[in-house]
C-alpha cells in the first residue's frame, strides 16, 4: 500500500515540488544516517579516512563565503534536476540520457582544454 501512496503523492505534486521533496529526502538521509556512520567508523584518525561532521558543520557555520557557495550549488542542482524532468516530460527519457552523456563529454573536453592550454598570468583573472 505504501508504494501506491507514494506514487499518488508524487503524481499529485508539481514537478518543482517533487524536485524539492526528493532533495530534502536525500539530504535528510545523508545527514541523519550516512554522516553519523562515517563519523563513528573505527580506524586511524587523521589519515584522510574519516569525515569529521562536527568540524564540517562548524566550518560551514562560520564561513559566509562557504555558505554562499553551498547555496549556489544547491540552487544550480535544483535547476538542473528540474530542467531534466522537463526534458524527460517533453522529449522523453532517451533524449535526457543522451544529454547526460553529452554533459560528461563536455566536462571531459573542457578538462582536456584547460590541461593542455597554457595560461599566462594575464588570462587567469578571467576565471576568478
> Per residue in 21-74, pLDDT tens?
888 888 888 888 888 887 777 777 666 556 677 888 899 999 999 999 999 998
Q: Report the distance separating Cα 109 and Cα 107, nearest Å.
A: 5
CA separation (Å) from 75 to 71, 72, 113, 124? 6, 5, 27, 26
Q: Report the distance separating Cα 67 and Cα 61, nearest Å.
A: 7
For the chain, the 3-state helix, strand and coil shares in percent, each to the nearest 5, are: 80, 0, 20
89 Cβ contact partners less than 8 Å away, ≥ 6 residues apart: 15
Q: Report the distance separating Cα 124 and Cα 114, nearest Å.
A: 11
Total-model pTM: 0.59
Show me where the domains of the chain are located: 2-90, 92-128
Query: Predicted confidence band at 1 (pLDDT cuts at 50, 70, 90)?
Result: very low
Amino acid at each position: 500500500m505504501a508504494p501506491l501512496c507514494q506514487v499518488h503523492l508524487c503524481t499529485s505534486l508539481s514537478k518543482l515540488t517533487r524536485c524539492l521533496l526528493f532533495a530534502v529526502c536525500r539530504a535528510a538521509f545523508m545527514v541523519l544516517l550516512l554522516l553519523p556512520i562515517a563519523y563513528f567508523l573505527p580506524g586511524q584518525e587523521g589519515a584522510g579516512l574519516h569525515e569529521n561532521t562536527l568540524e564540517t558543520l562548524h566550518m560551514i557555520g562560520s564561513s559566509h563565503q562557504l555558505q554562499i557557495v553551498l547555496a549556489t550549488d544547491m540552487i544550480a542542482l535544483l535547476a538542473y534536476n528540474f530542467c531534466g524532468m522537463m526534458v524527460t516530460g517533453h522529449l522523453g527519457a532517451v533524449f535526457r540520457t543522451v544529454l547526460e552523456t553529452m554533459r560528461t563529454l563536455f566536462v571531459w573536453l573542457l578538462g582536456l582544454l584547460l590541461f593542455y592550454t597554457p595560461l599566462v598570468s594575464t588570462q587567469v583573472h578571467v576565471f576568478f
